[in-house]
Structure 1
Amino acid sequence: MSRNRGEWTTAEMPEMDDRVVVVTGANSGLGYEATRAFARKGAHVVMACRSEERGEEAKRRIRTEDDGRVRGSLEVAELDLADLDSVRAFADEFRAAHDDLHVLCNNAGVMAIPRSETADGFEMQFGVNHLGHFALTGHLLDVLLNTDGRTRVVTQSSGVHERGDIDFADLHHEESYDEWAAYAQSKLANVLFAYELQRRLDGADAEVASVACHPGYAATNLQRRGPEMSDSTVRLWAMKAANALLAQSAEDGALPMLYAASAHDIEGGEYVGPGGLLNMRGPPEIQRSSEISYDRNRADRLWRVSEEATGVTYDLERSATAD
């Protein structure tokens, strides 16, 4: 399944005046570029960042670089997805300050890093990439449901999800750890979550669309962190060379997320990625994800495991008829 939208760029984005958008990991990479685009279209963007200092620096940079083009407003808020208390605090503060939430972009993530654990004892990649966003979405669901009009949850995955599976017997890789297998598992979890959320939203007749996306191969700081944390000079130079030869820009890599967040033909339950060479670059299109990502039993089990791990439950009934 593939529906190409031609050379879709931010020029085709609808205006977003009076819209409130949350972007996790907004201070760099894809999150930074998405924040810029939303703000140019008039949205109020809450930049959810682990470091408020880096968030404020990114906010100043956008204001400086985009002088005269930013019609919206920017707000920086602290969010550490590796700490469920921080996730809860962010959601509480957001609800206290805002009545509406039109788009939640679950974008932040870590990739192929040495094994470590979150504040709550989860393997870091699974904990940040999936469980942190699962908890965040659950905490903000009431705002999404009570906002007038069709709202959206956009969850950033990766083409690497196609190599992933969910190891329920060793979910946090305590018995054995491979950094890429752990990353692939977390990115598959993102797609399973996005689809299962849509099924449950459909079952509740909710006016919220859940969409998964991936950036293809985009040059961001994400690729550097694993080699830097492993102190691997060889891997670091290999990543830099690959970025220079193969990667598209972070600005182009953000287009699938922006399309998923704003395009009029998005209904929910889609998977959006670049439609060019090997789905690594090019304009965004609606694609088909891996076969395993459509496994409803696996998705339901992951959902129940995620509720138990985070203590966050969603007041939504699962549809028995949703595709």
Structure 2
Amino acid sequence: MFQSLTVYLLPTILILVLVRKYRESKWGKCKNKVKLDGKIAIVTGANSGIGFEIAKELAFRNAQVILACRNLEKAREACDLIKTSFPEKTNITVIPMELDLASLYSVKNFTDRIKKQYTEINLLINNAGVSFPSNKRVETKDGFELLELLSKSSSRIVVVSSSLHERGEINLNDLNGLRATKKTNLYANSKLANAYFSQELAKHTKTKNVKVYCCCPAGCIQGCSGTRLSGTTTF
């Protein structure tokens, strides 16, 4: 019995591994190595995960990177980690700033500070996200823009979404998900909202010298200069 399972199981695993490797070979790789000297970038949710890797790569390319995070202490730790990742570089500029996107008060404080300190923003990465149990009801602190600075230069807004948006369904009569069931995929719904937001934002920025991108970081491999993005859509 065990030998029979081995005969079928091992070839199956090998085939799956080969299929995976083949799919990886078809994923797009970022070959762009352009330096970003003098550019100012904001990355939300940059203290960990994909946001951290994005901030790290931008800093490596000499951009001045603002790590906008809900927890300021974690943002500071992320900045220190980025600096120590490139001991040979002396021009790494990473700035921790507090930004709780669940609070409009925090958002206003952040944007006021940015407008006060900078005359333009060249790159905005909307990466921050949230995860919580599907059986738990979570609300923002308010119960339910930096466009001027971005339009002063040839800028980009990148919305980090997911191909799971294909499983999403927006109910205009229940935007807060109060009538969600166990079958409701709120995460997929949020990613579909990302796509709709990107499309609508692109319409409003056509004449403002700002390009909007919505991307799915499928198969993202952590490591500087090693991030892979697939499913990128430009509106």
Question: Considering the TM-score relative to the shorter chain, is it more than 0.5?
Answer: yes
Runs of at least 4 residues off by over 6 Å? none
The CA distance in 2 between the partners of 1:249 and 1:112, in whole Å, is 23
The question of 1:174 aligning with 2:174 is answered no
The structure whose Rg is larger is: 2
Q: Name 1:208's counterpart in structure 2.
A: 210
Q: For residues 257-280 of structure 1, what are the alpha-carbon distances to aligned partners after superposition, in whole Å with 9 as ceiling and x for unaligned?
A: xxxxxxxxxxxxxxxx26xxxxxx
Equivalence for 1:94: 114
Query: CA offset at residue 21 of structure 1?
Result: 0.1
User: 63, 74, 78: which is aligned to 2:94?
Assistant: 74
TM (norm. structure 1) is: 0.59
Alignment partner of 2:53: what SS?
A: helix
Structure 1 Cα separation of the partners of residues 122 and 182 of structure 2? 37
Partners of 1:177 and 1:40 lie apart in 2 by 45
Using structure 2 for the length normalisation, give the TM-score.
Answer: 0.80
Residue 255 of structure 1: CA displacement?
A: 3.9
Give the aligned residue type for 1:54.
Answer: K
Q: CA deviation at 1:67?
A: 1.4
Q: State the SS of the aligned residue for 2:205.
A: helix
User: 1:87 corresponds to which letter in structure 2?
Assistant: V
Match of 2:58 in 1: 38
Distance in 2 (CA, whole Å) between partners of 1:99 and 1:179 is 46
Residues in 2 aligned to 1:253 and 1:89: alpha-carbon distance in whole angstroms: 34
Q: Which residue of 1 aligns with 2:149?
A: 143
2:169 to 165, 170, 186: 165
- Identify unmatched segments of 5+ residues in structure 2: 1-24
Q: Which amino acid aligns with 2:192?
A: L
Distance in 1 (CA, whole Å) between partners of 2:129 and 2:27 is 29
Measured against aligned partners, the alpha-carbon deviations of 1:64-122 in whole angstroms (never above 9, x if no partner) come to: 12212463311110000111111111000011111110000000101353331110112
Q: Deviations over 1:112-133 (max 9, x none)?
A: 53331110112xxxxxxxxxxx
Aligned to 1:311: none
1:198 aligns with 202
- Offset, 1:249: 3.6
Distance, in Å, in 1 between the alignment partners of 2:225 and 2:169 is 28
Residue 170 of structure 1 aligns to a residue whose secondary structure is: coil
**Retained in 2: the 8 A contact 1:216–1:253?**
no
Identity over aligned pairs, percent: 34
Task: Give CA deviations for 1:194-249 in whole Å, capped at 9, x if unaligned.
Answer: 111112222xx22000110111144xxxxxxxxxxxxxxxxxxxxxxxxxxxxx44
Aligned with residue 192 of structure 2, among 188, 194, 209: 188
- 1:242-321 matches, cutoff 5 A: 248-249=221-222, 254-256=227-229, 273=230, 286=232
